[in-house]
Chains A and B, each alone.
Chain A
Amino acid sequence: MSTLAPALQQTGSTDKTLRVAVPIAVLLALVPLVVPPYGAILLAYGLVMAIGALGFNLLLGYTGLLSFGHSAYFGVGAYAVALMVKYLKVGSMELFLVGAIAASVLVTALFGVVCVRYTRIFFGILTLALSQVLWSLAFKFFWVTGGTDGLRVPTPSLFGGLVTGAGDKTAFMSHAYYYYVLIMFCACAALMWVIVNSPFGMALQAIRDNETRAEFVGVRIWRYRWVAFLVSGVFTGLAGALWVPLNGLTTPDIMHWTFSGEIVFMTVLGGFRSFAGPIIGAIVFNYLKTYAIGYTVYWQLLLGAVLVALVLSLPTGIVGTAGKLAARFRGRS
């Protein structure tokens, strides 16, 4: 990947970032008051995927590893929640999150040990193969996972039982749960911001830009990559856990490698060389997919064409292109 990204990563000051991030968070908080419930739920899906894509981009954008297996960690999070409901009769969202994090730490730690020894195409194929192992297990062990029928997850209780989902499910999802997702999203984004701007994040970028030099400087490459893999997988697992009550059902589809492809797609759509890219990409992709599916049965064709056009002409994604346009505009005036 050393050819891919000359240090373009923006590592701005925290003050400046907060000046942008806080108004956006406030705007997002106002959304359920303004738009109809359906719009809020749709945005909640987008925010959940944004958490997953943020995690994914720690590997692609910051460490230079393209994983084609992140559906596995998303699925581990989702199935951890579903199995907790099925076997332990748990109904608290906080316990769900703890369980999902524990499960995804376990799986990513194990997969990470195997995967981080490779880079480039082999890393991609290995992550894909391992994610397919989990997919086939979820698919075939139907007496545990429900097979293609999947597992149902009822509405959970939030904040240790302070808010319960009794009553209108739509109202719950578009208000209480939306705010829950928004809080988690803000926390995750802030945490990821801290991570990528920490010495650890800098070391990852050094590895991405020049592995050999980073090693000479004293960065322990495999260990750093492994930690990045772990953090990345856990973020995506958390997204899976938040996704599953929203969807009400988890099926093996979310473990299939084509779903990994979608995670890659949304990250590239937003632009993987910037911090905000995967967030914007995930939200835009979510709208794009929803409307494409509503508009035509051939939505895959539409999305595929968008993806091909994107990598052919706008490899820096929405954020990169917007930045370039803004720079040109500024240069002219």
Chain B
Amino acid sequence: MDVLLIHILNSLLYASVLFLIAGGLSLIYGVMRIVNLAHGNLYAFGAYVTAWAIGTVAAGASVPVLLVLLPAGALAAAILGAVLEPTLLRPFYKRAEEYQLLCTFGLLMILEDLMRFIWGPYPLSASTLFESFGSLPVGESIYPTYNFLVIGVGTAAAIFLWAFVYRTKFGVVLRATSQNMRMASALGVNVNRVYVQAFTLGCFMAGLGGAIIVPSQSAVLGMGVDALVLAFIVVVIGGLGSLEGALVGALIVGFVREAGITWFAEIELAVLYLIAALVLLVRPAGLFGRP
């Protein structure tokens, strides 16, 4: 029973981070119709910045200070996104999707090496924060308290995002632009500004995902590329451009992956990709996507 509970907690932990990454990817696609292959690198960037801030710059500081520094990665990723969108992506909106994919693939390579250049080839860890939280008893077993924080942040992000998109004026503008960019533009929406904001928000979420997970793991090179493919699976299952889909997809992938690690470790990844391929076959637009 306890073991099952721990498996469920692990799945939720995993789903929280995946939702943050895939939700950002999906938001960006929903509004801008861009599949950002460099999205995983923004997640990695968030992880590196936070690990650097907590583990190197403020090493030895008290726990509240470290907690305040935790979102640094998310902010850094958001700023990076706000710079990238107008400079590199804007020229591509009027061109075929293939060019956008290529441009973001180039961006992926650049960001991967920029991180190697700035932080070196070795893993960067911020484990002091993770350790300072200790652990909580779950039945007869114990579970790291910090992981509850990650699950909490993931849940809060989902609620916040839902409220933001469906309950604010900005959300209305965002959804209008997503449904019909020309019409929104004709009605006086500054589409360029909405694009920058959506892209920045998407990058913020990816960066937040990296920032909250890095104390329990470490920031390593290549983590972005791995995360991107999992985020792809999430959005393909849930539907590209749908936030509900990203949530459901993240939960599915989180649980399947946890089950896979326990029972069928060899084909765990293959099963995930096959689920994605199956969903695409049955419902090309994903479970929650607009066809």
Q: Indicate with 1 or 0, residue by residue over A250-287, a CB within 8 angstroms of chain B CB atoms.
A: 00000001100100110010000000000000000000
Quick check: which of B68-76, B108-116, B172-180, B201-209 contacts chain A, the rest being far away? B108-116
How many B residues touch A, CB cutoff 8 Å? 44
B105 near A129: Cβ-Cβ < 8 Å: no
With an 8 A cutoff between CB atoms, is B106 at the interface? Answer: yes
A136 near B98: Cβ-Cβ < 8 Å: no
Quick check: which of B151-159, B247-255, B274-282 contacts chain A, the rest being far away? B274-282
Residues of A within 8 A of B267 (CB): 136-137, 140
With an 8 A cutoff between CB atoms, is A68 at the interface? Answer: yes
A308 near B114: Cβ-Cβ < 8 Å: no
B102 near A125: Cβ-Cβ < 8 Å: no
B106 near A304: Cβ-Cβ < 8 Å: yes
Residues of B within 8 A of A258 (CB): 225
| Contact among A268, A300, A308 for B113, CB-based, below 8 A | A300
Residues of A within 8 A of B64 (CB): none
A132 to B267 Cα, complex, angstroms = 12
With an 8 A cutoff between CB atoms, is A133 at the interface? Answer: yes
The closest CB in chain A to the CB of B281 belongs to A114
- Decide if the interface of chain A is mainly helix, strand, loop or mixed: helix
Residues of A within 8 A of B229 (CB): 128, 132, 257
Residues of B within 8 A of A128 (CB): 229, 232
Q: Indicate with 1 or 0, residue by residue over B252-283, a CB within 8 angstroms of chain A CB atoms.
A: 00000000000001111110011011001100
With an 8 A cutoff between CB atoms, is A312 at the interface? Answer: yes
Asked whether A311 and B103 contact (CB < 8 A) given A1-B96, A114-B281, A129-B273, the answer is yes
A298 near B116: Cβ-Cβ < 8 Å: yes
Residues of A within 8 A of B266 (CB): 140-141
With an 8 A cutoff between CB atoms, is A26 at the interface? Answer: no
A129 near B102: Cβ-Cβ < 8 Å: no
| Contact among B111, B114, B270 for A133, CB-based, below 8 A | B270
B105 near A312: Cβ-Cβ < 8 Å: no
With an 8 A cutoff between CB atoms, is A315 at the interface? Answer: yes
The closest CB in chain A to the CB of B278 belongs to A114
A265 near B105: Cβ-Cβ < 8 Å: yes
The closest CB in chain A to the CB of B99 belongs to A311
Most chain B Cβ neighbours within 10 Å, of A1, A68, A136, A139: A136
With an 8 A cutoff between CB atoms, is A4 at the interface? Answer: yes
Residues of A within 8 A of B98 (CB): 1, 4, 60, 66
B114 near A301: Cβ-Cβ < 8 Å: yes
With an 8 A cutoff between CB atoms, is A124 at the interface? Answer: yes
**Shortest distance between the CB of B101 and any CB in chain A (Å):** 6
A141 to B264 Cα, complex, angstroms = 12
The closest CB in chain A to the CB of B94 belongs to A3
With an 8 A cutoff between CB atoms, is B233 at the interface? Answer: yes
Asked whether A308 and B107 contact (CB < 8 A) given A1-B98, A140-B267, the answer is yes
The closest CB in chain A to the CB of B104 belongs to A308
A125 near B97: Cβ-Cβ < 8 Å: no
Q: Indicate with 1 or 0, residue by residue over B204-233, a CB within 8 angstroms of chain A CB atoms.
A: 000000000000000000000100010011
**Shortest distance between the CB of B259 and any CB in chain A (Å):** 16
A200 to B183 Cα, complex, angstroms = 41
Q: Indicate with 1 or 0, residue by residue over A44-73, a CB within 8 angstroms of chain B CB atoms.
A: 000000000000000010000010100000
Q: Indicate with 1 or 0, residue by residue over B26-41, a CB within 8 angstroms of chain A CB atoms.
A: 0000000001010000
A257 to B231 Cα, complex, angstroms = 14
Quick check: which of A115-123, A174-182, A211-219 contacts chain B, the rest being far away? A115-123
A4 to B113 Cα, complex, angstroms = 31
**Shortest distance between the CB of A58 and any CB in chain B (Å):** 15
With an 8 A cutoff between CB atoms, is A78 at the interface? Answer: no
**Shortest distance between the CB of B196 and any CB in chain A (Å):** 19
Residues of B within 8 A of A261 (CB): 37, 105, 108
Residues of B within 8 A of A68 (CB): 101
A312 to B103 Cα, complex, angstroms = 8
A311 to B265 Cα, complex, angstroms = 40
With an 8 A cutoff between CB atoms, is B122 at the interface? Answer: no
**Shortest distance between the CB of A256 and any CB in chain B (Å):** 8
B35 near A121: Cβ-Cβ < 8 Å: yes
A308 near B236: Cβ-Cβ < 8 Å: no
B117 near A301: Cβ-Cβ < 8 Å: yes
With an 8 A cutoff between CB atoms, is A109 at the interface? Answer: no
B35 near A125: Cβ-Cβ < 8 Å: yes
With an 8 A cutoff between CB atoms, is B284 at the interface? Answer: yes
With an 8 A cutoff between CB atoms, is A27 at the interface? Answer: no
With an 8 A cutoff between CB atoms, is A88 at the interface? Answer: no
B232 near A125: Cβ-Cβ < 8 Å: yes
Residues of B participating in the A interface, judged by any CB pair closer than 8 Å: 35, 37, 88, 91-92, 95-99, 101-103, 105-114, 116-117, 225, 229, 232-233, 236, 240, 265-270, 273-274, 276-277, 280-281, 284
Given contacts A264-B102, A307-B105, 19 further A-B contacts (CB under 8 A): A121-B35, A125-B232, A128-B229, A129-B280, A130-B273, A132-B229, A132-B269, A133-B273, A136-B267, A140-B267, A140-B268, A140-B269, A265-B102, A268-B102, A298-B113, A301-B109, A304-B108, A305-B106, A312-B91
13 A-B residue pairs with Cβ-Cβ distance under 8 Å, sorted by A, are A117-B284, A129-B276, A136-B267, A136-B273, A261-B108, A265-B102, A268-B102, A298-B113, A300-B112, A306-B106, A307-B102, A307-B105, A315-B95
